[in-house]
């Protein structure tokens, strides 16, 4: 779906069309947004927002790409990514009417039932939906010229230690950066490689031969997990649970910490993250700050699901394996050793 016609553009310079003459001191005023300009995404989104609001849709307060129309009996959702969209809901007649309305305002192509979207393969069945990226991985393997039958059993070798000064520089780091960037998108459905990709993305500036070998190792692992993905069960409960962990000073280069968390709605994994954090003075501080990050994400998921009229079952437990962090969260007294994380303390206690 396109909001305007592509007009000749070369880098940041535009030229007037043939037979249109203007002096070097004159400029042309653009009456519409042209494909490729920096202002175009903003203009396109504003136009789309204006059009769908005429049909009673409102943008979600918690996800700018999500539009909702809720009535007493039905709900329709539009998820927009640039000029591709997913329309879903329990109002079939309303969805057909929305498609006809959008076709009158934009040049559209209906691809039917959701099966492939932005590299994601969606398979529906009686017990839910299955998301995978098998076709995407196959293209990635072809680009890296991995034609052998070697398969790795894990994303990283056991106890691997990588340094910024390991081995020799790659003569051309372009392929390394392309592969790591592609692997980052692969973590949409394969979270088991999240930490490994997070680790390798830290060497994008000056990758070494050792780092490139690790990236190939990750690809060999992906070859063996080609058809794995995420399953969202239609029979799952609506209990939201959180799990998190933190590793203090795990990077030998500058000794930062790493925080990871994941969220399950019933048995379905809906959110996860692996992120490098600042240097911490104790493992308790690392765990407590990870608890804060997890709480922020948990609140956002609560608000987003509530916006989509999803009623969660009971309270949402956060699973933590650090007793010191648990005790600080329940203790009203801020001790001398924890005063530097006082704001996080009050935040957790408020929401508890």
Render pLDDT for 280-292 as a digit per residue (tens, 0 to 9): 567 777 888 888 8
Is residue 257 scored above 90 in pLDDT? no
> Cα dihedral angle (41, 42, 44, 49), rounded to 10 degrees?
140
Greater confidence (195 vs 62) lies with: 62
pLDDT in the model for residue 23: 76
CB 221 within 8 A of CB 151: yes
Render pLDDT for 142-168 as a digit per residue (tens, 0 to 9): 888 887 788 888 988 887 777 777 778
Is residue 45 scored above 50 in pLDDT? yes
The whole-angstrom separation of Cα 197 and Cα 216 is 11
Render pLDDT for 115-151 as a digit per residue (tens, 0 to 9): 888 888 999 888 889 999 999 999 888 888 887 788 8
CB 8 within 8 A of CB 14: yes
pLDDT in the model for residue 311: 85
Q: Cα angle at 185 between 168 and 157, to 5 degrees?
A: 45
The whole-angstrom separation of Cα 255 and Cα 161 is 13
Nearest CA to 265 among 290, 297, 291? 297
Beta strands in the chain (DSSP E): 58-59, 66-70, 75-81, 84-89, 116-117, 120-125, 128-132, 229-233, 240-247, 257-265, 268-277, 318-319
Q: What share of the chain is helix, strand, coil (3-state, %, to 5)?
A: 35, 20, 45
User: Could you tell me which CATH class the domain 236-351 is placed in?
Assistant: alpha beta
Average pLDDT, the chain: 82
pLDDT in the model for residue 2: 33
pLDDT in the model for residue 346: 67
CB 248 within 8 A of CB 256: no
Residue 307 CA, distance from chain mean position: 19
- The H helix count followed by the E strand count for the chain is 9, 12
pTM for the model stands at: 0.75
The whole-angstrom separation of Cα 122 and Cα 189 is 11
Write out the residue limits of the CATH 3.30.420.10 domain(s) in the chain: 236-351
The whole-angstrom separation of Cα 284 and Cα 325 is 6
């Amino acid at each position: 779906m396109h909001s305007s016609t592509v007009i000749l553009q070369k880098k940041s310079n535009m030229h007037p069309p043939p037979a249109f003459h203007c002096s070097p001191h004159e400029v042309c005023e653009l009456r519409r947004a042209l494909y490729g300009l920096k202002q175009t995404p903003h203009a396109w989104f504003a136009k789309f927002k204006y059009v769908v609001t005429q049909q009673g849709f409102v943008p979600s307060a918690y996800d700018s790409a999500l539009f909702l129309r809720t009535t007493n009996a039905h709900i329709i959702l539009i998820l927009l990514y640039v000029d591709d969209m997913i329309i879903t809901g329990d109002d079939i007649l309303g969805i057909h009417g929305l498609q006809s309305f959008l076709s009158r305002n934009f040049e559209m192509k209906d691809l039917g039932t959701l099966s492939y979207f932005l590299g994601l393969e969606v398979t529906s069945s009686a017990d839910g939906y299955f998301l995978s990226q098998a076709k995407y991985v196959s293209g990635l393997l072809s680009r890296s010229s991995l034609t052998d039958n070697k398969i790795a059993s894990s994303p990283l070798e056991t106890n691997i230690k990588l340094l910024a000064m390991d081995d020799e520089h790659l003569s051309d780091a372009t392929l390394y950066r392309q592969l790591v960037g592609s692997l980052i998108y692969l973590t949409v459905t394969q979270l088991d490689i999240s930490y490994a990709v997070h680790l390798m993305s830290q060497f994008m500036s000056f990758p070494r031969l050792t780092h490139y070998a690790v990236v190939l190792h990750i690809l060999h692992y992906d070859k063996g997990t080609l058809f794995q993905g995420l399953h969202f069960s239609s029979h799952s409960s609506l209990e939201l649970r959180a799990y998190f962990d933190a590793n203090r000073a795990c990077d030998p280069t500058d000794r930062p910490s790493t925080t990871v968390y994941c969220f399950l709605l019933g048995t379905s994994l809906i959110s996860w993250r692996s992120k490098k954090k600042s240097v911490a003075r104790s493992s308790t501080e690392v765990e407590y700050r990870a608890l804060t990050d997890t709480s922020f994400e948990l609140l956002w998921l609560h608000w987003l699901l509530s916006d989509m009229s999803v009623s969660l079952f009971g309270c949402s437990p956060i699973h933590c394996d650090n007793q010191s962090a648990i005790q600080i969260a329940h203790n009203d007294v801020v001790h001398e050793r924890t005063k530097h994380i006082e704001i996080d303390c009050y935040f957790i206690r408020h929401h508890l």
